Amino acid sequence: MKILIILRVAERALRRNKMRTLLTMLGMIIGVGAVIATVSLGDGAKAQVESQIASLGRNVILIFAGSITRGGARGGWNNAGTLMVDDAIAIEREVPDVTIISPEYRSGGIQVASANDNWSTTIQGEGEDYLEIRQWPLAEGSMFTAVDVRSAGKVAVIGKTVADTLFPDGNVIGQAMRIKGVPFIVVGVLTPKGLSVQGSDQDDVVLVPYSSAMKRLFGVTNIRAITVEASSPKVLANAQEEITELLRQRHRIGPGHDDDFTVRTQEEIAQMMNSASETIRSLLVAIACVSLLIGGIGIMNIMLVSVTERTREIGIRMAVGAHGKDILMQFLAEAVALSMVGGGLGIAIGVLSSRIAAQVKHWPTLTSPTWIVVAFFFSALVGIFFGFYPAWKASKLDPIDALRYE
């Protein structure tokens, strides 16, 4: 009953100055709302990264040409033609933990055309096992074969975006398309995957045998990457080490010299991408916590003003038998009520903001119930921490001086 009375008195005191109460809660509303929205966007981005990394396949190792140092300048991935098809064949033969591989030559912004339309897309020259490595099923048709790779066959497997653009009537398999003026026959259509982490359309792609890409389309003798599948997650690190050592031997790279290639496992790529998103999220959460701090200071300020305004009221309560702890609990309850109501409104606004962002901007969001509970209790702690001093000050007032206060 005593707690109910304290809460009723606190509610009456806060309603007495509605505008001031609302403005006091505003800092908590903004701070908690910003935390919830930021964490929701960060967790959504992290979940999308994990999903995209998983879409690479299982136990995948990626080998890129590049990462070399010449004349003091260090190049990045794909900056040098240092990988050859023979390197991929050697890896498959000499690294026991490797099960299947796919040499790759990729080029973007390539014009493709059907009888009635044309489109600029990405051409990927791949091996016949590429879809197995990527765990990417076909919607219709079939993948090109090892015979097509050996003979540099003019066959292609296209993504859903390319299929819808070039063949809007839906009749795709067996149709002819021209890539850089060279005729190719469509033998398969990929299952849609949607946008990647970087926002690019994964379905806007044309797969051809890597031999066809090298000889018929681009006139090159090198490849830009090799996609490798290891036998199990336990051997990824060992396979990575063996691949690195093998390529260093094949490329005649001596001790102390930089590799002219880059070898990355699936886990390393995930860690790099998650590290970037975590850094951004931590920065935004820190900024949001500053808003919470400002909101807490605002609560302390208003409660100090309230103590001053209600000094005579405090004196009357003490004169009729209220103890110092009763006064302390009364003002502390008001501070906690301000922060918790503000926190509750902030949670609602944060969840709503994240959903609006997901609908309007198509940003991935994931609102965790754990964070909602944490934010609510943290707002209560802010009220207790910043409301304690004004409440303590009120409880220490001398009743005689308080009654004389005008």
Residue 266 has a pLDDT of 75
Residues paired with residue 120 on neighbouring β-strands, in sequence order: 111
| Tokens describing residue 115 | 């009888």
Could you tell me which residues come within 8 angstroms of residue 265 by beta carbon, excluding any fewer than 6 positions away? 60, 61, 62, 236, 237, 240
Instruction: pLDDT tens for the chain, 406 residues: list them.
Output: 467 777 787 788 788 888 888 888 888 888 888 888 888 887 887 777 767 666 666 788 999 998 644 444 444 555 557 899 999 999 999 999 999 999 999 999 999 999 889 999 999 999 999 999 988 999 999 999 999 999 999 999 999 999 999 999 888 999 999 999 999 999 999 999 877 656 678 899 999 999 999 999 999 999 999 999 998 888 988 999 999 999 999 999 988 888 989 998 877 776 776 676 677 777 777 877 787 788 888 889 888 888 888 888 888 888 888 888 888 888 888 888 888 898 899 999 999 988 888 888 777 788 888 888 888 888 888 888 988 999 898 888 888 777 776 5
Residue 319 has a pLDDT of 84
- CB distance 307 to 390 below 8 Å: yes
- Residue whose C-alpha is closest to residue 214's, from 203, 225, 205, 229: 225
3-class secondary structure per residue, the chain? CHHHHHHHHHHHHHHHCHHHHHHHHHHHHHHHHHHHHHHHHHHHHHHHHHHHHHCCCCCEEEEEEECCEECCEECCECCCCCECHHHHHHHHHHCCCEEEEEEEEEEEEEEEECCCCEEEEEEEEECCCHHHHHCCCEEEECCCCHHHHHCCCCEEEECHHHHHHHCCCCCCCCCEEEECCEEEEEEEEECCCCECCCCCECCCEEEEEHHHHHHHHHCCCCECEEEEEECCHHHHHHHHHHHHHHHHHHCCCCCCCCCCEEEEEHHHHHHHHHHHHHHHHHHHHHHHHHHHHHHHHHHHHHHHHHHHHCHHHHHHHHHCCCCHHHHHHHHHHHHHHHHHHHHHHHHHHHHHHHHHHHHHCCCCCCCCHHHHHHHHHHHHHHHHHHHHHHHHHHHCCCHHHHHHCC
- Whole-number Å distance between alpha carbons of 228 and 130: 9
Residue 55 has a pLDDT of 64
- Whole-number Å distance between alpha carbons of 281 and 293: 18
- Whole-number Å distance between alpha carbons of 172 and 161: 12
- Whole-number Å distance between alpha carbons of 198 and 276: 13
Q: Look at the chain and count its residues.
A: 406
- Whole-number Å distance between alpha carbons of 336 and 139: 57
Q: How many other CB atoms sit within 10 Å of the CB of residue 253?
A: 17
Residue 95 has a pLDDT of 94
Q: What is the pTM of this model?
A: 0.64
With both helix axes pointing from N to C terminus, report the angle between 311-319 and 266-309 in degrees, rounded to the nearest 10: 70
Residues paired with residue 206 on neighbouring β-strands, in sequence order: 123, 158
| Tokens describing residue 273 | 């991408």
| C-alpha dist (Å) from residue 264 to 94, 134, 243, 331, 378 | 19, 15, 11, 59, 41
